Structure 1
Amino acid sequence: MKHTNAQCVFCAIVAGTSPASVVHRDAQCMAFMNLRPLHRGECMVIPLVHIDHFTDMPDDLAAHIMVVGRRLGRRMMRAFAPKRVGYVVHGFGVPHAHLNVVPLHDSSDIVSAKHIVSTDSGLRIAHDAVPLRTRADLDADAAVLRGDQ
């Protein structure tokens, strides 16, 4: 298993060479805010080492990431008051394992219609259809989840 991948944006975030609004960091993983959240507070937890597929992680690391995700979910419930918190591992987007921690206000938030766009050839999923949040807003949400505010 490679510890880093020079082409991976998440490895650059781990190394501190790419910006992120960090919520949590320990010896095994880190969590930071999603750049295109459906709702305030959406974040992800990643292993510090480069592992492409979540299923390739050692069991103890996967369990640790889930524990961190659950802790963030509890903070999310207190800070942003969603109806539920969802946990998604889909493996697309960035080829570095990540657990998405998603505040749910509606049952369709996991498969949000906000990602569906109409084109000449029909409907398609477009993750860039959800607008980017500003770094200042992401940093503020990260501070709330950390308990700084």
Structure 2
Amino acid sequence: MADPCIFCSILAGQSPASVVHEDEHCLAFMTLRPIRSGAFLVIPKVHIDHFTDLPDDLAGHLLSVAQRYGRRLLDLTPAKRIGYVVHGFGVPHAHLNVVPQHDTFDIISARYVVVDGGAAYQVTESAVPAPTRIELDQMAAALRAEMQPAG
């Protein structure tokens, strides 16, 4: 039996999330271990493992939501750019990572690389700071504030 999907658990209301946006097709919520404050995910409400398996209109909708809130993120943070990443690992449920970028390395977690003997490197989840639920909820609320409905 496959492991339960944490994103499906969030969609079912069984696991907590700091929600940025919800509509009939998708949910956007704050990343638990963001590289920079404000990072969030946009997921489809239907469980599909690979982003490339999403119907084009649904993939476009996820990107449109990410774009709208990404613009808001630029107003709320000192980020210079917003990065969008689909890497397909971590959770077997299609998701779009929205990452505020202050510099080149924010998109690849290089701020948290651990060098071992000058040759090997790794980024472990424990190396990335975890904001509190209150901090995540506050950023989600700030992103939602003053947003106009899509049109």
Compute the TM-score of the two structures, normalised by the length of structure 1.
Answer: 0.90
Match of 2:124 in 1: 126
Q: Deviations over 1:29-73 (max 9, x none)?
A: 000000001111100100001110000000000000000000010
Q: Distance in 2 between matches of 1:30 and 1:63?
A: 14
Q: Which residue of 1 aligns with 2:51?
A: 54
1:85 positional shift: 0.4
- Amino acid of the structure 2 residue aligned with 1:54: F
* Structure 1: gaps (5+ residues): none
Counterpart CA distance in 2 for 1:14 and 1:88 is 21
Query: What code does the residue aligned with 1:91 have?
Result: G
**Separation in structure 2 between the aligned mates of residue 123 and residue 85 of structure 1, nearest angstrom:** 26
Could you tell me how far apart the structure 2 residues matched to 1:147 and 1:18 are? 24
Whole-angstrom CA distance in 2 between matches of 1:119 and 1:128: 16
- Corresponding residue number in structure 2 for 1:63: 60
> What RMSD, in angstroms, separates the aligned Cα atoms of the two structures?
1.7
Checking the alignment, whether the CA contact within 8 Å between 1:115 and 1:128 is kept in structure 2 is: no
Residue 21 of structure 2 contacts residue 29 of structure 2 at CA under 8 Å; is this kept in 1?
yes
Please name the residue that 1:146 is paired with: 144
Identity of aligned pairs, percent?
57
**Pairing partner for 2:102 from 90, 102, 105:** 105
Matched residue count = 144
In the alignment, which residue of structure 2 is the partner of 1:29? 26
Task: Tell me how far apart the structure 1 counterparts of residues 71 and 48 of structure 2 sit (CA, whole Å).
Answer: 26
Distance 2:29 2:41 in 1: 6
Q: Is the 8 A contact 1:54 1:97 kept in 2?
A: yes
Deviations 1:3-47 (A, max 9, x none): xx8700000001110000000000000000000011111001000
Residue in 2 that maps onto 1:85: 82
2:14 counterpart residue number? 17
Q: After TM superposition, which residue ranges in structure 1, 4 or more long, deviate above 6 angstroms?
A: none
Question: Structure 1: which amino acid aligns with 2:136?
Answer: L
Equivalent pair of 2:109/2:123 in contact (CA under 8 Å) = no
CA distance in 1, matches of 2:77, 2:83: 14
**TM-score, L = length of structure 2:** 0.89
